């Protein structure tokens, strides 16, 4: 290929028609705002993941953190200390104030940029780099959330305590998590849809289709977050906006095709580099980045599946155990529901902790260490390291358990029998081709 032919895409880009003033201003604002947004949260660590390294969000570091804290205290009159990491919520006060700060910075930067660069007619090259950045940023989140659903891991199968918890005691988010987790097939399907949107963003010819799928996926996620009070509303809304930004250059084509029933011409394609060598290097770098992001998410999800998901180890006393008789200091406690502090059930699920379900349906969570060889069980409180209770357990039958030991200065003896959780209605086969009557209980 001649040098002239190689330079044609670059020359075509520089000779692009001028943009309207409103388009130039909108582009400057979107470029600044969404670049800062992606660099300030989990997106950056998802683009450049490091296995087994928990990378902090840049917004939680200097200089952004003091800016956000100052703005919260002096402009919004927030009196409490801001939580900025480790909570698992994306809708913290810190996050909303951060979004406000980024908005103000983007508006100021747009004004300065527009004043200093008012004679430039268009930004075709910068737009292509920005579009590539948006593709990578959005795809990184589709890979993350898609893969953890396919495993499935994000909404895990309801743990044992959830299976005996009163429906009315569960939060809307807890209900959503339990209902989706109880149907792994649906969770895997939704994960495949999210992963598909991300994968289609990899290839230039399928960007539009990928962005449409991402838009549909993120709209569903946003609606669920809004209606079940899941604290990722702000973030999922930004994913919708990023999908729309990727679709913006194709807006006229989409309107013509879907609403006006008109044929559309192929979109012009431009390369980022003029020489074949540069394009090959860029393709190799991008291929490595795409594979690195997908591979890291697969590795992380598979590891988590065996540590905290369905493939994890279970307690040596795994099961839901109803307490038939409780003796304290030699006195049998009455079986009446007159003492709400009494235990109703003992639930052993994860190896590291167990739960007592009280008569008032509340739960008491304790750390547990089980020595199967000595038949010994030690309980501790996560928030009180000096507290400890010790028991010796005996299993007279697979579904019968006896605990004897000391707790809070009292000698306790418990007789328990195990419930068969496989007979719970929600655990029964959930799909039937033929149903003479609805099974809705």
Angle 74-78-80 from CA coordinates, rounded to 5°: 130
Angle 286-291-143 from CA coordinates, rounded to 5°: 105
Residues 6+ apart with CB under 8 A from 70: none
Q: Specify whether 340 is located in the same domain as 277.
A: no
Q: Specify whether 297 is located in the same domain as 348.
A: no
Q: Specify whether 266 is located in the same domain as 337.
A: no
Residue with tokens 């502090």: 341
What does the alpha-carbon distance between residue 360 and residue 168 come to, in Å, rounded to a whole number?
13
For residue 374, the domain's CATH number is 2.40.128.20
Q: Is residue 158 a contact partner of residue 182, using CB atoms and an 8 Å limit?
A: yes
Residue 8: pLDDT over 70 = no
Q: Is residue 178 a contact partner of residue 233, using CB atoms and an 8 Å limit?
A: no
pTM (two decimals):
0.91
Boundary-marking domain end, from 307, 337, 366: 307
The pLDDT assigned to 4 comes to 41
Question: Around Cβ 334, how many Cβ atoms within 10 Å?
Answer: 10
Element spanning 416, H or E:
strand 410-418
16-30, 82-96, 102-116, 419-433: range with lowest mean pLDDT: 419-433
Residues 6+ apart with CB under 8 A from 93: 72, 78, 80, 82, 83
Higher pLDDT among residues 431 and 184, named by residue:
184
Residue 53: pLDDT over 90 = no
Residues of the chain with pLDDT > 70, as a percent, come to 94
- pLDDT, tens digit, for every residue of 161-204? 999 999 999 999 999 999 999 999 999 999 999 999 999 999 99
Residues 6+ apart with CB under 8 A from 281: none
The pLDDT assigned to 341 comes to 62
25-29, 118-122, 356-360: range with lowest mean pLDDT: 356-360
Q: Which of 258, 216, 224 is nearest to 240 (CA)?
A: 216
Residue 6: pLDDT over 80 = no
- pLDDT, tens digit, for every residue of 317-336? 999 999 999 999 988 876 54
What does the alpha-carbon distance between residue 245 and residue 262 come to, in Å, rounded to a whole number?
23
* DSSP structure string for 179-243: HHHT-HHHHHHHHHHHHHHHHHTTSGGGHHHHHHHHHHHHHHHHHHHHHTT-S-HHHHHHHHHHH
Three-class DSSP category at 3 = helix
Residue 437 domain flag: no
Residue 167 domain flag: yes
Q: Specify whether 337 is located in the same domain as 418.
A: yes
Give me the number of domains the chain comprises. Answer: 2
Q: Specify whether 24 is located in the same domain as 74.
A: yes
- pLDDT, tens digit, for every residue of 63-95? 999 999 999 999 999 999 999 998 999 999 999
Q: Specify whether 345 is located in the same domain as 216.
A: no
Q: Specify whether 102 is located in the same domain as 134.
A: yes
Angle 45-85-100 from CA coordinates, rounded to 5°: 85
Q: Look up residue 249 and give its DSSP letter.
A: G
Residue 3: pLDDT over 60 = no
Angle 264-269-272 from CA coordinates, rounded to 5°: 160
Q: Specify whether 291 is located in the same domain as 334.
A: no
Boundary-marking domain end, from 272, 307, 342: 307
The pLDDT assigned to 339 comes to 52
Q: Specify whether 155 is located in the same domain as 211.
A: yes
In terms of residue numbers, what domain contains 374? Answer: 319-425
Residue 210: pLDDT over 80 = yes
Q: Specify whether 328 is located in the same domain as 212.
A: no
Residue 201 domain flag: yes
> Mean pLDDT over residues 407-423, rounded?
93
Residue with tokens 């449409």: 212
> Mean pLDDT over residues 332-341, rounded?
58
Residue 426: pLDDT over 90 = no
Q: Is residue 377 a contact partner of residue 405, using CB atoms and an 8 Å limit?
A: yes
Q: Specify whether 333 is located in the same domain as 299.
A: no
> Mean pLDDT over residues 370-381, rounded?
96
Residue 340: pLDDT over 70 = no
Q: Specify whether 268 is located in the same domain as 361.
A: no
Residue 216 domain flag: yes
> Residue 269: which pLDDT band, with cuts at 50, 70 and 90?
confident
- pLDDT, tens digit, for every residue of 21-42? 999 999 999 999 999 999 999 9
């Amino acid at each position: 290929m001649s040098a002239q032919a190689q330079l044609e895409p670059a020359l075509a880009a520089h000779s692009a028609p001028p943009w309207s003033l409103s388009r130039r201003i909108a582009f400057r604002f979107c470029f600044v705002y969404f670049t800062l947004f992606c660099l300030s949260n989990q997106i950056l660590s998802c683009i450049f993941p490091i296995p087994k390294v928990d990378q902090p969000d840049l917004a939680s570091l200097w200089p952004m953190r003091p800016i956000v804290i100052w703005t919260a205290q002096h402009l919004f009159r927030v009196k409490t200390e801001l939580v900025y990491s480790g909570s698992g919520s994306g809708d913290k006060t810190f996050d909303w104030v951060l979004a406000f700060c980024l908005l103000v910075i983007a508006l100021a930067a747009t004004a300065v940029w527009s004043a200093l660069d008012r004679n430039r007619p268009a930004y075709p090259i910068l737009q292509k780099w920005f579009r590539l950045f948006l593709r990578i940023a959005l795809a990184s989140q589709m890979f993350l959330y898609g893969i953890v659903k396919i495993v499935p891991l994000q909404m895990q199968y309801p743990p044992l305590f959830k299976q005996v918890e009163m429906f009315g005691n569960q939060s809307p988010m807890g209900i959503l998590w339990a209902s989706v987790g109880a149907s792994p097939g649906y969770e895997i399907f939704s994960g495949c849809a999210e992963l598909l949107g991300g994968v289609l963003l990899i290839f230039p010819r399928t960007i539009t289709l990928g962005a449409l799928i991402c838009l549909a996926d993120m709209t569903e996620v946003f609606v669920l977050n809004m209606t079940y009070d899941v604290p990722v509303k702000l973030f999922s809304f930004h994913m919708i906006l990023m999908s729309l930004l990727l679709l913006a250059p194709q807006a006229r084509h989409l309107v013509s095709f879907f609403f006006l029933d008109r044929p559309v011409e192929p979109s012009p394609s431009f390369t980022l580099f003029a020489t074949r060598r540069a394009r090959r290097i860029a393709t190799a770098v991008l291929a490595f980045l795409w594979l690195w992001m997908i591979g890291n998410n697969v590795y992380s999800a598979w590891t988590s599946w065996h540590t905290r998901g369905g493939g994890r180890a279970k307690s040596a006393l795994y099961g839901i155990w109803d307490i038939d008789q409780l003796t304290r200091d030699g006195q049998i406690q009455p079986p009446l529901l007159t003492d709400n502090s009494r235990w109703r059930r003992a639930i052993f699920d994860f190896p590291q902790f167990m739960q007592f379900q009280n008569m008032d349906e509340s739960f008491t969570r304790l750390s547990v260490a089980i020595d199967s060889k000595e038949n010994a069980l030690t309980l501790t409180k996560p928030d009180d390291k000096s507290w400890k209770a010790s028991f010796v357990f005996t299993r007279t039958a697979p579904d019968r358990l006896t605990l004897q030991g000391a707790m809070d200065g009292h000698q306790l003896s418990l007789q328990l029998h195990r419930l068969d959780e496989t007979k719970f209605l929600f655990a029964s086969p959930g799909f039937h081709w033929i149903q003479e009557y609805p099974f809705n209980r």
